[in-house]
Amino acid sequence: MPPSIITDASQSPAAAITYRLWLSDRSRYITFLGPEGSPAVDLDYGRPLGRGSFGQVYATTYRISTESERQPQWALKEGSGAVSELERQQDNLAFESRMFGAVYGTTPLLDFEISLDKYIYRLLMPRLPGIQVIKYLAKVRPDYIERLKIAIAILKAVKVLHEKGIIHGDLKTDNINIVQDQETGEYRVYILDFGLSYRVTDLATFFEGDSEYWTRDRVHILTDVDIRPRAHPFHDIFSLFYYLLVYEKGFTYKFITAIMPPLEELKSAALLYREIREGKTKEVQALKNYNRMRLYSYEMQQAYDLYLGIRSTRNRKKVRFKALAEKRREYEERAKESVTVEGLISQAERLLAISEYCLNKFNIFTLQLPDAVRSLLKQAVEFAAYTTEIDQLDDAFYKEINELCQNKLERELCLFFLKDENQDFVNLASSAIRERIQSDLIFIPIMAALDDETIESYRNITRTRRNYINTLIAYDDLQFILSFKGRAVEDFVRALPIIIEVEYERYIKISFTQVTLDAMIEKAEAIQVLKNEIISYCQSNVIAIGVFEDNVSFKTLLGNAHEFADKTTALEQFPETLLTSIRKIFNEKFNERLQNWFLTDDNNDIGKLTNAQIRQRLQAAPIFASVAINITEMRIQQNKELVQTRERLIKSYSELGLLSKLRFKTVTLEACKREFVASNWNPVVVESITEATLNRIKAEHNRTMPTSFLPFYQLHPIDWASIRVNLVATLIIIKEYSKISVDIEASITALIKDLSVESGDPANNLIRLYNIYQELNVYEKMALQGAFNMPIASSELGEPTFRFIFKAGFDPKLFGPALLTVLKEIPRPATTFSLWFSRYRPWYDEIQRGLEKLIDDQDKITDQQFGCLLANFLSNCYHQLLTNRSLYSLVFLNTFLIEQSTPLREGCYQFIKDTTDETILLHLLDELVNLIETMQKSKISRGWFAAPPIQLHAQTLVELQGLSTSPFERIKFSEILARYRQNLRTTGNESCLERLDALILNWANGLFESVTVLSS
């Protein structure tokens, strides 16, 4: 019961009540205040329960202000309207509230919220159990007998309502709640919404328009012309039956159809009324269009014709509708006099009794024709007084009953085939099964209908149960079924996994008994023991077991093993799912070992082999020799692709940029693997990378390194702290003593600055240093390499490289002062005031000062660095003499250099004496002959006064051509060369002498191949 203030609405005048309304999301709260202004009831709006023409109903909880706990299971009906209708609506709602109280014993609380032009009413009432009948029928879809029970329950509720003197007035499946007792199966019905109700002694509510499910005496009523109809119980009966016939399925019971107009007429009348209303809208619109077109004769006539057509059609439909309405009114008047709720309930209950009797005797009535069923029913003692009703039953009834009996027969046969004692039906012949079925008395009447095909279909149900049991036993690796050891079968049935779908699930679950469960557990325990033995055997034979990818081969191998010689039957019955899971475990282990073999460094070439060649290699491998023939092509191809992926990985990391190669050089194997995985390479392939593979990648970096960068790559990682000072000094010397561009000078300056503050990435600084290195000449490069203690290798230049400076035992710091002396002694032109001397004297002075400064700074750098810079200085000086055409000075300098690099000892040049390869000397001989022949063709002496020594050239050629080359006469060759050079000096032919000296210097410095001879 709600609080005491929820009484008759007249005790709660609206003037004495105020409201507090709160809105948030879908919840709303409102407080009813008592007459003194103190809060009485706090309401919580819940989900909507329904909507009608006059308002909406919400699920509601309330709380009395003096209590903390909220009361559930209440409903709040809320609606609104114009203030002009308030007085009439107050009376109607007050009457509805009293009707509800009269039926259910609790009068709802009614209150109004009133504004200037609008009112809102709220009616708080107990929430009735169940769901609307319209929803229940759509959700449950009950069978013939259950629908009949529902109709009887509703009629009984209507009877109670009428006995209380109340006609509902709007009875339909939306306004009825129903709930079924789960234990007894009985239905309880609750009638809702008394907004259009009236007392049996009063006039009935009416409608000025039409409501298709109301009787015709309550619609199209004009209050100032027509007489309002009096209340009659048939009003509720007709509305209820109309909804059950027209809007629900399966309620074509004789006691309903006998008092209602034909169903087709009801539907036609409803359709006609809707079309008439729609036609009225179209007629009004057509008339408006006609009135707008009066100035246009042609369009006006068309619009008028359309209007007339619509009106004519509508009038014809109105005539048809009126005729149907009159006919229906006659039906209603006849039924009103003869139909009572009690009589309908009696007819329905007799029909229910007949139906249930037939269903209980399903084995007798299943395959009978209607006449035979009538005869059997009349013979039944229970229905001796129902002979007339039985004769009046139509064929629709017998069709429904036959279907129910068929369904029950199928159910009983299913349960029979699903019994534990009948599980051997799977292997029995049809004749044996027939004998056992016949042993059950209920099936004797239908044995003639059980042919072999029908028996086979039910045998499939037994087979389905067996398979389902086997699936449950193996489910969750036997742990599910074993967990129910010592527990009740009811717990087991409730816990059955819904993910395992099975036909006839409802019947199969019913068939499970405690015996079934205990047998399943016993079988699971035996399977568990065998499973452990299989796993133990497989662990000892991973290669032999794991190669098989199907259960048949796997089971055959197990059956041939002596460990399972006495377990053949158990192996045959071993669950396939468990066998598959075990096989897959060892398939994975085998695949892992196979992958490891494929991904070893010894098998890097497998990606280029055919599958047949790979199989041959597998047969040669001791671990796979016995199973190689059973390894599938797919497995070989998959692993071959892994090897190819591995090679792609190695190749991709072998083709890095210089900076990446530098950083990769010092990476550890673990860091390398992390980088590969982060780059989305196959983890299996990454895991196969070994130190040898990593070294292979680094070796490939070394092989593909640019020759010029190789010394820097081999240097990395670099200890910048120990080398920084020496490097900075070297860069400064290069900057001061070399002719470099402004950009290179800026790069050197920036690098010196960064190195001084120890900033930047060491590998990146090495790249910057290399970029500077690329812009230097060979001697400057050699100086830089010397700073890092790198091997110094000269480039292939077509000019003297003065490599003798870098030979072991040569002291560049002694050579420097000697060179300075030679430069000072280089002969000047005879006339000191000549134009040539005036022009080039500053240059002579500059190179002398540069050499003097270099000699003064030699203690700041190493001997090797000093030698490089000295060679650089000498190269610049040599080129400048050629540019200035200073042949006297050039010959003077060449003579000094030849004496330093390859002096004559015992009449033989040192470099010829030291050369052991006669092929090189033959090559030098060819070069010398070609050079002399070129000099022979020169028409003008390169000296100022000397005449071309043509005879000297010819004589020397003859001597050279007379040399014996097998063995090579190296001493004689050296003497001819020395004599030829001396004669050129004597004749003063500086041009020829300079070219010869260039050849000697190049060969003396180890460039043993053709060179481009410099010309003046």
Q: 302 versus 274: which is more confidently predicted?
A: 274
**43 SS3 class:** strand
Nearest to 215 by CA among 199, 242, 235: 235
> Is pLDDT at 740 greater than 90 in this prediction?
no
Task: Give the span between the Cα atoms of 483 and 475, in whole angstroms.
Answer: 11
Lowest mean pLDDT among 296-310, 355-369, 378-392: 296-310
User: What residues contact 966, with CB distance under 8 A and at least 6 apart?
Assistant: none
Tell me the backbone φ, ψ of residue 504, rounded to 5 degrees: 55, 35
726's tokens: 């020496």
- pLDDT, tens only, 373-402: 888 888 888 888 888 888 888 888 888 888
911's tokens: 């470099």
- b/e map 702-736, b = 16+ CB within 10 Å: eeebeeebebbbebeebeeeebeebbbbbbbbbee
Tell me the backbone φ, ψ of residue 734, rounded to 5 degrees: -60, -40
Instruction: pLDDT band for 945, please (50, 70, 90 cuts).
Output: very low
In order, the DSSP letters of 134-192 are HHHHHHH---HHHHHHHHHHHHHHHHHHHHTTEE-SS--GGGEEEEE-TTT--EEEEE-
> Is pLDDT at 645 greater than 70 in this prediction?
yes
- pLDDT, tens only, 756-778: 766 667 788 888 888 888 888 77
Do the beta carbons of residue 178 and residue 188 sit within 8 Å? yes
DSSP character at residue 760 = S
Lowest mean pLDDT among 257-266, 391-400, 471-480, 884-893: 884-893
Q: Which of the listed ranges 45-59, 137-151, 356-370, 842-856 does the model predict with the highest average pLDDT? A: 137-151
- pLDDT, tens only, 434-469: 999 999 989 988 888 889 999 999 999 999 999 999
- pLDDT, tens only, 53-72: 677 888 887 766 556 666 66
Residue 491's CB is within 10 A of a number of other CB atoms, namely 11
Task: Give the span between the Cα atoms of 342 and 991, in whole angstroms.
Answer: 147
Q: What integer best gives the mean pLDDT of the chain?
A: 81
pLDDT, average across residues 473-491 = 93
- Domain 1-127 matching CATH 3.90.800.10: the answer reads no
pTM attached to this predicted model: 0.56
Q: 412 versus 1004: which is more confidently predicted?
A: 412
Instruction: Give the angle subtended at the CA of 892 by the CAs of 886 and 895, to the nearest 5°.
Output: 135
pLDDT at site 619: 93
Task: Give the span between the Cα atoms of 974 and 958, in whole angstroms.
Answer: 15
Do the beta carbons of residue 156 and residue 189 sit within 8 Å? yes
In this prediction, what percent of the chain has a pLDDT beyond 70?
86
CATH fold for domain 130-253: Transferase(Phosphotransferase); domain 1 (1.10.510)
Nearest to 737 by CA among 863, 872, 841, 875: 872
User: What residues contact 475, with CB distance under 8 A and at least 6 apart?
Assistant: 481, 497, 500
User: What residues contact 214, with CB distance under 8 A and at least 6 apart?
Assistant: 207, 235, 238, 239
Task: Give the span between the Cα atoms of 537 and 564, in whole angstroms.
Answer: 10
